[in-house]
């Protein structure tokens, strides 16, 4: 995931991004591959999150928020495709990435607390 953020930075925000794009570009095909890879990864992550939420006694409201954040992470591949197809800015990409990171961080904290409570 971190590598995806680095690619986004290099492609959209870094000084001299035009040179990086010119040296590494394969055009829309590259962007489409990014969307495909992130979409598949996030789909697997969402399945894993669902299984973990089902397995552990996570409070219902917390589980719902974590689940929605994971689903919002799918805005990243949708954002990449909207850049390719419609030339939109990378806002959806950033929101989706932040949502997925927040989902995983929150889930990790909740699970850590549950496991710590079991040991206490």
Instruction: Report the distance separating Cα 27 and Cα 98, nearest Å.
Output: 25
* Mean confidence (pLDDT) of the chain: 87
**Which residue in 53, 42, 59 sits closest to 98, CA to CA?**
42
pTM of the model: 0.74
- Number of alpha helices (DSSP H) and beta strands (DSSP E) in the chain: 6, 0
Residue-wise pLDDT tens digits, 82-92? 887 788 999 99
- Between 2 and 48, the more confident residue is 48
Q: 37 vs 43, 60, 63, CA distance in Å? A: 10, 31, 26
Give the start-to-end residue ranges of the domains of the chain.
Answer: 30-119
Tokens representing residue 99 in the block: 């949502």
CA of residue 28 relative to chain centroid, distance: 20
> What confidence tier does 113 reach under pLDDT thresholds 50, 70, 90?
very high
pLDDT beyond 70 at 23:
no
Q: Please tell me the predicted confidence (pLDDT) of residue 116.
A: 96
Q: Which two tokens stand for residue 49?
A: 């999150």
Tokens of 12: 């959209």
The whole-angstrom separation of Cα 93 and Cα 77 is: 7
Compute the distance between CA of residue 78 and CA of residue 111 in angstroms, rounded to an integer. Answer: 29
Closest alpha carbon to 88 in 75, 98, 101, 107: 75
């Amino acid at each position: 995931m971190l590598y995806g953020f680095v690619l986004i930075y290099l492609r959209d925000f870094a000084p001299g991004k035009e040179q990086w794009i010119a040296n590494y570009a394969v055009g829309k095909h590259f962007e489409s591959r990014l969307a495909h890879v992130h979409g598949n990864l996030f789909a697997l992550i969402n399945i894993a999150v669902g299984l973990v939420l089902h397995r552990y006694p996570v409070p219902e409201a917390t589980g719902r928020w974590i689940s929605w954040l994971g689903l919002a992470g799918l805005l990243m591949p949708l954002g990449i495709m909207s850049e390719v197809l419609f030339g939109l800015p990378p806002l959806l990409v950033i929101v989706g990435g932040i949502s997925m990171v927040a989902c995983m961080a929150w889930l990790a904290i909740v699970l850590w607390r549950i496991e710590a409570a079991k040991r206490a």
